[in-house]
């Protein structure tokens, strides 16, 4: 069936990509999915409509009043909860920086044929909900449970495989992570495109773990084999490799592009003199240790702002006496475990977790 381009039957067409050249299908994904406007990195909290969005299938529109979260499978006391019951459970709000695992994909060479993020798939929000662990405990998972799966109401095809978007966490991961069942973002009910009425947030991990439109949590005595868990979101060098799962967010930083932009190229113009460079750095649940700014051949140490929280990005700034000229500015973060951003992307087949340093092209005039 390849001649009709039917993506719902295998085997699938293999898409080749060429550096610096993108297809209409990639542009369609870029138009549909929303990236951050980098100047809004100056805000501690990303406004709702400015937060990145990556939606695999269609946004399901769910009636909150009849929605139930079902706890199923190998639980001693499986149950279902209404949204009112979930809202009545103890509520906490966490400031969490979320980044798409595919952020930076278009910077890899060769790049995978998928959503062509450059730098934009990151945002920080205040997520309100109730901790998941006590509810799992209440449902009483059997001792034989090896995975909890989290499945959403969004359904579609990827590589010819029909599935609801779903992910899993092991009991150990669930214990180690502060997973929240979330119904509010920045103090407002979740919007449809952010997972209304209910999603999980897995702080410190790339965004694929934070399942939207959450429908059911299943306790499994065999490993979860959902498409989004085992067939993608893995670090692979070749397609026949099982690969390592993508999990915690790697250390990364971005700069608020200084000065003013050219509309199309997004290159920047600055007046010479004192310029305050600023941006954000993050590393999942690991604290940021330092940020360095690269200007004209030298690395300079930036000043770090007060932390916003364990899982939130950290502000940084650097005062630069800008002399006229043409610059490629860069910023590089190091976390408390001494992980440092690479200068070049660490390649993998699907283009995941590219944390190479960002470059910002700047023209300084008299």
Which residues, numbered 111-170, are part of the site for a second copy (CB under 8 A)?
Answer: 113-114, 116-118, 120, 155-158, 162
- Minimal distance in Å, beta carbon 261 to a second copy? 5
Candidates 84-92, 128-136, 203-211, 260-268 — which segment interacts with a second copy by CB under 8 A?
260-268
Tell how far CA 2 is from the center of its chain.
32
Q: Which of 324, 325, 333 is nearest to 358 (CA)?
A: 333
- Minimal distance in Å, beta carbon 208 to a second copy? 13
Angle, vertex CA 343, rays to CA 241 and CA 292, nearest 5 = 135
Instruction: For 235-269, give one letter per residue: b (16+ CB within 10 A) or e.
Output: beeeeeeebeebbebbbbbbbbbbbeeeeeeeebe
Is residue 290 within 8 A of residue 304, CB to CB? The reply is: yes
Choose between 140 and 259: whose C-beta lies nearer to a second copy.
Answer: 259
Interatomic CA distance for residues 259 and 360, integer angstroms: 11
Q: Does 42 bind a second copy (CB under 8 A)?
A: yes
- Minimal distance in Å, beta carbon 337 to a second copy? 30
Q: Considering only residues 174-193, where is the footprint of a second copy by CB under 8 A?
A: 188, 191-193
Interatomic CA distance for residues 276 and 315, integer angstroms: 13
Q: Out of 92, 142, 266, 301, which residue is the one contacting a second copy (CB under 8 A)?
A: 266
Interatomic CA distance for residues 106 and 21, integer angstroms: 10
- Minimal distance in Å, beta carbon 38 to a second copy? 8
Q: Out of 10, 110, 261, 307, which residue is the one contacting a second copy (CB under 8 A)?
A: 261
Q: Out of 2, 10, 28, 244, which residue is the one contacting a second copy (CB under 8 A)?
A: 28
Q: Assign 153 to helix, strand or coil.
A: strand
Choose between 60 and 78: whose C-beta lies nearer to a second copy.
Answer: 60
| Phi, psi at 223, each rounded to 5° | -60, 145
Choose between 104 and 141: whose C-beta lies nearer to a second copy.
Answer: 104
Choose between 162 and 307: whose C-beta lies nearer to a second copy.
Answer: 162
Candidates 262-270, 271-279, 303-311, 336-344 — which segment interacts with a second copy by CB under 8 A?
262-270
Interatomic CA distance for residues 214 and 347, integer angstroms: 32
Q: Considering only residues 277-336, where is the footprint of a second copy by CB under 8 A?
A: 326
Interatomic CA distance for residues 123 and 313, integer angstroms: 9
Site string for a second copy, 50-69 (x = CB under 8 A): xx-x-xxxxx-x--------
Q: How many residues bind a second copy (CB under 8 A)?
A: 71
Q: Out of 2, 10, 40, 225, which residue is the one contacting a second copy (CB under 8 A)?
A: 40
Q: Assign 195 to helix, strand or coil.
A: coil
Q: Which of 70, 165, 182 is nearest to 126 (CA)?
A: 182
- Minimal distance in Å, beta carbon 188 to a second copy? 8
Q: Does 11 bind a second copy (CB under 8 A)?
A: no
Q: Considering only residues 93-112, where is the footprint of a second copy by CB under 8 A?
A: 106
Q: Considering only residues 196-255, where is the footprint of a second copy by CB under 8 A?
A: none
- Minimal distance in Å, beta carbon 34 to a second copy? 4
Is residue 285 within 8 A of residue 311, CB to CB? The reply is: yes
DSSP string, 212-229: SSEEEEEEESS----HHH
């Amino acid at each position: 069936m390849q001649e009709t381009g039917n993506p719902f039957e295998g085997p699938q067409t293999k898409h080749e990509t060429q550096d610096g050249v993108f297809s209409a299908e990639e542009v369609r994904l870029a138009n549909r999915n929303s990236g951050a406007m980098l100047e809004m990195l100056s805000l501690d909290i990303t406004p709702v409509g400015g937060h990145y969005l990556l939606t695999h299938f269609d946004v399901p529109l769910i009636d909150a009043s009849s929605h139930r979260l079902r706890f199923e499978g190998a639980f001693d006391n499986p149950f279902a909860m209404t949204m009112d019951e979930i809202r009545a459970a103890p509520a906490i709000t966490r400031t969490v920086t979320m980044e798409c695992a595919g952020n930076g994909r278009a910077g890899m060479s060769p790049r995978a044929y998928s959503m062509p993020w450059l730098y934009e798939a990151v945002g920080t929000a205040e997520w309100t909900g109730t901790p998941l662990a006590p509810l799992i405990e209440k449902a009483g998972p059997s001792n034989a449970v090896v995975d909890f799966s989290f499945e959403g109401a969004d359904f579609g095809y990827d590589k010819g495989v029909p599935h609801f978007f779903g992910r899993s966490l092991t009991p150990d991961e669930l214990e180690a992570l502060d997973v929240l069942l979330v119904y509010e973002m920045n103090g407002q009910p979740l919007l449809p495109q952010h997972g209304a009425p209910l999603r999980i947030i897995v702080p410190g991990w790339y965004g694929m773990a934070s399942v939207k439109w959450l429908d059911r949590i299943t306790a499994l005595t065999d490993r979860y084999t959902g498409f989004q868990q085992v067939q993608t979101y893995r670090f692979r060098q070749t397609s026949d490799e099982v690969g390592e799962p993508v999990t915690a967010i790697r250390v990364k930083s971005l700069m608020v592009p200084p000065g003013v932009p050219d509309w199309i190229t997004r290159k920047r113009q600055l007046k010479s003199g004192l310029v305050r460079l600023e941006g954000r750095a993050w590393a999942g649940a690991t604290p940021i240790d330092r940020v360095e700014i690269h200007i004209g051949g030298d690395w300079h140490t930036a000043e770090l702002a007060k932390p916003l929280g364990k899982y939130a990005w950290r502000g940084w700034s650097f005062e630069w006496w800008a002399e006229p000229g043409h610059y490629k500015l860069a910023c590089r973060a190091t976390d408390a475990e001494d992980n440092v951003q690479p200068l070049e992307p660490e390649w993998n087949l699907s283009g995941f977790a590219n944390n190479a340093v960002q470059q910002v092209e700047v023209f300084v005039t008299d």
